[in-house]
Structures are given as structure tokens and as C-alpha cells.
Amino acid sequence: MKLEVTELTKCYGKTRALDALSLAVESSRVLVLIGPSGGGKSTLLRVLGGLDVGDSGQVTINRQPILTDPNALQAYRRKNGFLFQQFNLFPHHTARRNIALPLEKVHGFSPAEAAAMTEQALARFSLLEHADKLPSQLSGGQQQRVGIARAVARPPEILFLDEPTSALDPEMTAEVLELIQELSEAGQDIILSTHEMGFARAVANQVAFVAAGKIEELSPPDELFGSPKSPLCQRFLSRVMRY
Ligand SMILES: Nc1ncnc2c1ncn2[C@@H]1O[C@H](COP(=O)(O)OP(=O)(O)OP(=O)(O)O)[C@@H](O)[C@H]1O
Ligand SMILES: [Mg+2]
């Protein structure tokens, strides 16, 4: 994907979540956002994915500007896939129905088409044995896998993941991280935020360090983790890598 963000600002009341943020990524499969809590990662993901609009500034993805009128924004959103921090499955529907429903209601596939795509997604992510369970009957890692299966059942242009492993124990985290790695190896463009530095380093083509609503540093992972240039980024890494 190619990404160009120019002077993007987004305020919530008096909080400047994004502060004239600029970012240029020429060509990258997986862009990973890291940085301190409250730095603006989720806000940036939401604006890049078309779930929210900035107050000012421009965003161009794959040479297409993201337009802010509601119809264009909805069409843009539909092209992408999302999975955010908390598991956001419908609690009263089975795993299978959770995947099929957006294919029918958002993408307009017939029930038969949606069912075929759903079976494929369930098989691809080894979820067939869990297909008839409700989210409450699945582990956290399994729920995240269903969430990812849903997000890619119809291949999205870009898959946005906001801390996909934040609620998981280490073993389930590994399971979800492997799945994300597989997707990227299969050619899926992904933008994700994470607090898992080892994973960020392993999966990213580019890592952006986001702090105080700005991109403080953008580098390939070995460079950013090996010899960070920005003092803020150095300080952040020396703190989070200590434990
Ligand atoms: N809906 C909202 N209403 C008010 N303030 C918000 C809202 N969303 C975000 N903020 C504020 O904007 C700033 C950036 O928040 P954001 O969630 O983007 O940070 P983050 O980098 O994702 O943090 P974390 O690592 O904790 O998830 C924070 O100061 C936050 O309190
Ligand atoms: Mg966040």
C-alpha cells in the first residue's frame, strides 16, 4: 500500500488526538503503529480506515484521497476490514452467523454466496469445529480468530487491526499473531497498532512511532528497534523493552 497523510488534525474537545500529523509510506505490506498510551494510534487507525474524519488535513491511500462526504466514506469503509481492541462479535449469534451477516447486510451477497464464503473463511482459519458456538462459548483467542475471519471473508483492500491481542494471554496472543503473519505472507495489506514489540518487529515492514498526535519516527523495524533516532522513541523503547 501507498499512504500519504498531510497535516492531519483531530480534536476531541480540547484534546488534540492528532496534531498536524504527517506520514508518507511509499510501499509497505504491514505498517505497525507503536507508542505510548494516548499517543493517537487508535485515532489514526480510525481516520485511515474511514471510521472517523479528521478536522483538517488530507489522507491519500493508494493514490485515492479519502473523501469526507458520508456516501463516499461509507463506500471506502466497505472496501476495508476491521478488528478492534475488544472482541466485537455479535454476542447472540454463532461464529458462523457473525461471519455471514456482514457479507449479506454490508456487502450485499446473497445468503447462498455468503454461506459459501463463510465456510471458506471458517476452514481457512481452522474454525469449523467452533462454527456453531456463540462468542461466550469461545476462548478470547478463538473470538479474535472469528473476528479476523470475518474481517477478511471478503478480501479487504486494507485490514485495520487495533491492538488485536491486548485482551489475550500469551499463548492466545501467539496464536493470533501467527494468523496475522500468515495473512501478511498471503499478500494482505495491514495497518495495525500493538504494544507487543517483539511482534511489531517480526511482522512489520515499516514501524511508525506515534506520540502526542504526531509521527515521531518511521523506519523499518530493525532500524527503529536497533537504533532509534528520535529521543522520545529511544526513551519509550528503553522503558518498554526493560521487562
Ligand atoms: N472518543 C473520544 N473522546 C474523547 N477523547 C478521546 C476519544 N478518543 C480518543 N480520545 C483522546 O485522544 C487521545 C488519543 O487517543 P487514542 O485512543 O488515539 O490513543 P492510543 O495511542 O490509541 O492509546 P492506547 O495505546 O492507550 O490505545 C487521548 O488523549 C484520548 O484520551
Ligand atoms: Mg488505542
Model pLDDT for residues 40-83, shown as the tens digit of each residue: 999 999 999 999 999 999 999 999 999 889 999 999 999 999 99
pLDDT of residue 12 exceeding 80, the answer is yes
Nearest to 215, CA basis, from 193, 185, 199: 193
pLDDT of residue 243 exceeding 80, the answer is no
Structural domains in the chain, sorted by start: 28-56+67-80+158-243 (3.40.50.300), 90-155 (no CATH)
- Nearest protein Cα to ligand 1, atom 4: 12
**CA 45 to ligand 1 centroid distance, Å:** 11
Q: Using 50, 70 and 90 to split pLDDT, how confident is the model at 170?
A: confident
- SS3 at position 6: strand
The rounded distance, in Å, linking the Cα atoms of 123 and 127 is: 6
Per-residue model confidence (pLDDT) at position 87 = 62
Answer yes or no: is the C-beta of 194 below 6 A from any ligand 1 atom: no
**CA 83 to ligand 2 centroid distance, Å:** 12
Angle between helices 140-152 and 111-124 (to 10 degrees): 130
The rounded distance, in Å, linking the Cα atoms of 149 and 140 is: 14
Model pLDDT for residues 174-188, shown as the tens digit of each residue: 888 898 999 999 999
Type of residue found at 30:
V
- Cα Rg, the chain, nearest whole Å: 18
Model pLDDT for residues 78-134, shown as the tens digit of each residue: 999 999 866 689 999 999 999 999 999 999 999 999 999 999 999 988 899 999 999
Q: Is the whole-model pTM more than 0.85?
A: yes
Per-residue model confidence (pLDDT) at position 20 = 98
Model pLDDT for residues 111-126, shown as the tens digit of each residue: 999 999 999 999 988 8
**CA 80 to ligand 1 centroid distance, Å:** 22
